[in-house]
Amino acid sequence: MQFINKPLITIVIPVYNAEKYLKRCVDSILNQSFKDLELILVNDGSTDSSGEICDFYSEYDKRVQVHHLLNGGPSRARNHGLNHAVGKYITFIDADDYINNYFSDAANKVSINDYDLIVVPFNVVNTELEPLQHNQYKEKSFLKNEKKDDFLRGIWLGEPLFGSCGNKWFKNTVIQKYNFSFNNDFYIAEDYLFNLHFYRECQSAVLVDFPYYNYVQYENSLTSRIFYNRFEIAKTVYVESLKLIKSLNINDSYSRNFVEESYLSGVLRAMFEVAKKGNKLTLKDKIMELKRYISDKDVRKLLRNNNRYKFNRLAFYCLKYQWPIVYYTVFKLRYLLKGWLYE
């Protein structure tokens, strides 16, 4: 669609085999009282009827454009949407989630301002759409980098507002200026990294208390998948997190401990991945991977500190005292026993 004037916001939805949920998601957007928006549906090689549903909406509403791609993953789909978005702001919604009418309230409020970043709280609901978590926050903002560190503490350090892109509006000109994109090699934490990069460069932001995004919590959505690069993901997030807090001169022990504990938690998740049922590595390669994680120089440096971290005690001791074989044996048995008990 050719807009006479650029819309306030472009919403990008990566779509992959989402026929069960896609109509709910798209209807929740197009039925908003706020109409100054563009919707980009990126069909990422779906093998169900998702592509046909996307095409229907492009015929039904001229604000909708559809792009059909070969399957390449959510990051590639989002990047494709970024390259075609014309809105002043860009946001992202997952096809199995949906929004409520607070979206229009948020849009009407921020349309009169010119922030680089807009953040809203989000809701967590179950598959019956019953609320599981509802967060409320006081409105806060910063302009021209003043109090940027305080704003970051309010949405990131210890708060659940930072990780996702779904509860944020990113100014398109900032994305274009710094050529921001999602890492195509990461299927988890790609949102987190995008946010870290964007926040380092943005010069103004606002948190508005209109929790319009409804995140639907499904069982086993990612838990059964094996991510062989989870350690690399944790390392990349850690390095970029340190760059961000350094750029803002955040040196307090609480903030650094949050970043460090997040990294060690990511390393432990990578170790869990090795012991998971379905991991295709040979036993020798699994032990080598665990040794690589455990001997990482940043891991060893952090574990020389006397900080108390809230982890599984046995897993933490295996990490701290470099016991890869003990770790693998114990946690492999745990997974096998769990599978046997619930088969």
User: Assign residue 206 a region: left if phi > 0, alpha if psi is -120 to 50, beta otherwise?
Assistant: beta
Single-letter residue type at 93: I
Tell me the pLDDT band of 222, cut-offs 50, 70 and 90. low
Where do we find the tokens 């309010």?
A: 154
Instruction: Check: CB of residue 208 under 8 Å from CB of residue 120.
Output: yes
Domain 9-216 annotated CATH 3.90.550.10:
yes
Domain boundaries, the chain: 9-216, 230-342
Rounded distance, CA 286 to CA 136, Å?
43
pLDDT value of residue 333: 81
What are φ and ψ of residue 215, in 5° steps? -90, 120
- pLDDT tens sequence across 288-305: 999 999 999 999 999 887
Rounded distance, CA 285 to CA 295, Å?
15
Counting residues of the chain whose pLDDT is more than 70, the rounded percentage is 94
Q: 106: which 2 tokens?
A: 């948020």
pLDDT value of residue 342: 32
Secondary structure string (H, E, C) spanning 210-269 = CCCEEEECCCCCCCCCCCCCHHHHHHHHHHHHHHHHHHCCCCCHHHHHHHHHHHHHHHHH
97 has a pLDDT exceeding 90 = yes
pLDDT value of residue 144: 87
- pLDDT tens sequence across 124-172: 999 999 989 887 888 999 998 889 999 998 888 767 799 899 999 999 9
The mean of the pLDDT values for the chain is 91
206 has a pLDDT exceeding 90 = yes
- pLDDT tens sequence across 13-72: 999 999 999 999 999 999 999 999 999 999 999 999 999 999 999 999 999 999 999 999
339 has a pLDDT exceeding 60 = no
Neighbour count for residue 327 (Cβ, 10 Å): 24
Among the ranges given (77-86, 131-140, 192-201), the one the predictor scored with the smallest mean pLDDT? 131-140
Instruction: Check: CB of residue 122 under 8 Å from CB of residue 164.
Output: yes
